[in-house]
Amino acid sequence: MNRRLPAWLLFALLLALAGCGFGLRQPVNFAFSSLYSGVPPTSPLGVELKRQLQSSGQLQYITEASRQQEAQAVLDILTEQRVKSVVGVSATGQVREFQLRLIIKFRLRTPQGKELIPETELVQQRALSYDEVFALAKEAEEALLYRNMQSDMVQQILRRLAAVKEI
């Protein structure tokens, strides 16, 4: 009897997981098969966007301006702005905390100009404590925070692209 109890508990747990709708993340399905973006492919945002779009497997990502008319949809990155502002200082006037912000504005349209996603602004912000003693380490931490915010932004853009139902 005691040997069967763990098996029943495992079975009940698996049944509960199956009943709650748990499932592994599936590849993203887009309403279009090709996408053009004018983001420079060497920019950090362009590299991340290309990597994420190509991992979906079924989408052709075009970055050459001469081939823009071949794409079914055009992703315009209107602005990408990194802002670093001081939010905390010590009694002696030394900086103690920064706020890092990444702002991206984008829109999705057809090559003919039909707007699929209107101009949208995404904002991410992070707090960065600062100490002059660890200036080099804080510089590396800042770069890492910007990279993480950028990855989050690309994921948000992909979810919005996947939400487009028809062209």
Question: What is the domain-level CATH number for residue 73?
Answer: 3.30.160.150
- Would strands 34-37 and 73-89 be described as parallel, antiparallel, or unpaired? parallel
Whole-prediction pTM value? 0.78
Number of domains in the chain: 1
Residue 154 belongs to some domain of the structure: yes
Find the domain containing 150 and state its range.
4-162
Residues listed for the chain: 167
Tell me which residue of 157, 106, 98 sits closest to 125, measured CA to CA.
98
Cα separation, 140 vs 1, whole angstroms: 58
Q: pLDDT tens-digit profile of 50-104?
A: 888 888 778 888 888 888 889 999 999 999 999 999 999 888 888 899 999 999 9
Q: Does the structure show a pLDDT above 80 at 138?
A: yes
Within a domain: 167: no
